[in-house]
Amino acid sequence: MGTGEKAKDFKSAISRLFGELKGFKALICVALVLAILSSVLSILAPNRLSDLTDEISEGIVTNFMDIDAITKITLFLVGLYLCSSLFNYIQSISMTTVANKFAKQLRSRISEKINKLPLKYFDKHQVGDTLSRVTNDVDTIAQTMNQSLGSLVSNIALLLGTIIMMFVTNWVMAITAIFSSLLGFVGMIAILKNSQKYFVAKQEELGNLNGHIEEVYSGLNVVKAYNGKKEADTKFNEYNKKVSEANRKSQFLSGIMQPMMSFIGNFGYVAVCIVGALLTMNDIISFGVIVAFISYVRLFTSPLSQIAQATTSLQSTAAASERVFEFIDEEEMPDQNKTTKHLNKEDVKGEIEFNNVVFQYDNNDKPVIKNFTAKAKPGQKVAIVGPTGAGKTTMVNLLMKFYEINSGNIKIDGVSINELTRENIHDLFTMVLQDTWLFEGTVKENIIYNRTGVSDEKVKEVCKEVGLDHFIKTLPHGYDSKISENDSVSAGQRQLLTIARGMIDDSPFLILDEATSNVDTRTEELVQDAMDKLTEGKTSFIIAHRLSTIKNADLILVMKDGNIIEQGNHNELMEQKGFYSELYNSQFEL
């Protein structure tokens, strides 16, 4: 990427950021006006300081001090500095309020956005990288707004105001002070041109590092079991080194500014003192003007340093805001405003029809599902079987509208899913997956998740049916015991909890995706009995690799390479001695 493109990205990112702040325009304007007023008061002080110096000098020479005049000037200076400090304080509070509210707003928008993104986004991005955008990048934006935005404006005002006041006081001294500081401008511009790429790299590499950490710790048992610690540490060190390197380069370049501006400031003092002494000797200026210009040099060089520092922070913010707004601008799931139809749970008959469904993942050369056609009648128990990668789970995801089909149609009671909202479809289905999920809460809260009006008796009855009651009674507080994803609850117990959660939900359709894969044979029998009760009167789809668990299915769909190659009940398929028969018999071979 060339320098011009980097500059363009920086400008567009900052422009977008300020565009997003339009809701806080009034408060920001108040803060910035106060920052400018504080700078103006600071600029007025050196002139009065010059008058005070002249009064004292004259008093020393004439042996008479005008105490009243000195007192007035002193009180005026104290008032100026107090007002300047008060304006700074109010400005800081205002910008802190804006920063916190804007960061809160950004996090809320990201949270809403996550629920609108299609699953294909999460197929391509690491969880850790997404979390880094929510935490690190948003915090970077908030920190810059809190610390740098007001500082940048006040220092620009201070810089311009100081230049004006210096020329008003004495143009020769003004040119001397400005010329001695021009080197600082040149150095600052050169550094800024070369440092932006490192700030962008720092945010990106930090996201990659967080992604790796999340990945390793979510599968820590596997890493330890396969002695993968060395490889995980090696990758961590690589990512960590890249973050450190990008951070070192960006901080090194930004760190140069402070000592550079310090040198320029000291050089300015020397230049002003020499030129001022020459002018004083020729009675062109008074000694007080030299004192005033020493203050002006400080006021002139300090803003340069602060502006450089604020600009450095803006570079980090530009990189962070690019990542945040890139996430916010991601393509969402198709709009549902045109979906006019609605199916009530109580009125659904339970018929589902697949008509020539074709689906292909992004960046895949071949479709995963090819002209899939099938029909499930009301109350039927439909099993979907086939080898790994045949497209079984993909079919369920299409039915639940997690993915959009490329062509064909899926109908529920004769209504196309394209005419129904995703929320409406999800409300019609109870889904129990192989991948279990528990959240921080009690056992009861995990079982009745997102459901109201469920009695304790109903929860206990369901747990007894799936064989969970004994396990729950061993917990310290029974059904009110706190559990989470990180607790030492076995995989089988987790799965039983999710099955109980599914049984609580009374929906006309049921999807079981390898729902008993992590339980023992005895427990599986209990669960199967419970499932038989659960599926009564419901249209259910069961994905299973243990074919013995779906022998009593009304219809078995055998999938291979994204299409149905055989269908029928267990006995019919066994008599055909085809692919299903081979799969079934292979499970009993030694």
**442-469 residue pLDDT tens:** 888 888 887 777 888 888 888 888 778 8
Task: Specify whether the CB–CB gap between 199 and 250 falls below 8 A.
Answer: yes
Which of 225-239, 299-313, 410-424, 556-570 is predicted least confidently?
299-313
Task: Specify whether the CB–CB gap between 211 and 128 falls below 8 A.
Answer: yes
Give the residue from 145, 183, 177, 143 showing the smallest Cα distance to 159: 177
Give the whole-angstrom CA distance, residue 125 versus residue 123.
6
Residue 537: pLDDT above 80?
Answer: no
Name the band, by pLDDT with cuts 50, 70 and 90, for residue 106.
confident
Q: Is the pTM of this model over 0.85?
A: no
* Rg from Cα positions in the chain: 36
Rounded average pLDDT over 286-293: 73
Give the whole-angstrom CA distance, residue 477 versus residue 500.
19
Give the whole-angstrom CA distance, residue 426 versus residue 70.
80
Which of 58-62, 169-173, 430-434, 494-498 is predicted least confidently?
58-62
With pLDDT > 90 as the criterion, what percentage of the chain qualifies?
1
Give the residue from 495, 494, 333 showing the smallest Cα distance to 425: 333
Helix and strand element counts for the chain (H, E): 20, 12
Rounded average pLDDT over 221-236: 77
Residue 56: pLDDT above 60?
Answer: yes
Rounded average pLDDT over 542-547: 78
- Beta-strand relationship, 563-568 and 555-560: antiparallel
* Whole-Å CA distances, 556 to 260, 301, 547, 580: 77, 80, 10, 9
What does the block give as tokens for 450? 């997102």
Give the whole-angstrom CA distance, residue 490 versus residue 221.
13
User: Which amino acid type is present at position 503?
Assistant: M
pLDDT, one tens digit per residue, over 122-139 is 777 777 778 888 888 888
The 10 Å Cβ neighbour count of residue 439 is 10
Q: Determine the pLDDT at residue 245.
A: 84
Give the whole-angstrom CA distance, residue 7 versus residue 81.
38
Give the whole-angstrom CA distance, residue 550 versus residue 382.
9
Sequential DSSP letters for 486-530: TS---HHHHHHHHHHHHHHS--SEEEEESTTTTS-HHHHHHHHHH
Name the band, by pLDDT with cuts 50, 70 and 90, for residue 590.
very low
pLDDT, one tens digit per residue, over 382-420 is 888 888 777 778 888 888 888 888 888 999 998 888 888
Rounded average pLDDT over 64-86: 76
Domains in the chain, start-ordered, CATH in brackets? 19-328 (1.20.1560.10), 345-586 (3.40.50.300)
Q: Would you say the C-alpha torsion 251, 252, 254, 257 has a positive or negative sign?
A: positive
Name the band, by pLDDT with cuts 50, 70 and 90, for residue 1.
very low
Rounded average pLDDT over 543-559: 81
Task: Specify whether the CB–CB gap between 534 and 473 falls below 8 A.
Answer: no
Query: What residues does 383 pair with on adjacent strands?
Result: 542, 556
Give the residue from 474, 457, 350, 470 showing the smallest Cα distance to 414: 350
3-state SS, residue 389: coil
Query: What does the mean pLDDT of the chain come to?
Result: 78
What does the block give as tokens for 480? 């009110």
Q: Determine the pLDDT at residue 207.
A: 77
Rounded average pLDDT over 517-534: 68
Residue 546: pLDDT above 80?
Answer: no
DSSP alpha helix (H) spans, 117-170: 119-124, 127-132, 138-144, 150-169
3-state SS, residue 117: coil
Give the whole-angstrom CA distance, residue 80 versus residue 67.
20
Task: Specify whether the CB–CB gap between 10 and 315 falls below 8 A.
Answer: yes
Q: Which residue has the tokens 């040198």?
A: 263
Residue 61: pLDDT above 60?
Answer: no
Task: Specify whether the CB–CB gap between 77 and 48 falls below 8 A.
Answer: yes
Give the whole-angstrom CA distance, residue 500 versus residue 350.
22
Residue 217: pLDDT above 60?
Answer: yes
Give the residue from 371, 396, 350 showing the smallest Cα distance to 515: 396
Name the band, by pLDDT with cuts 50, 70 and 90, for residue 530.
low
Residue 3: pLDDT above 50?
Answer: no
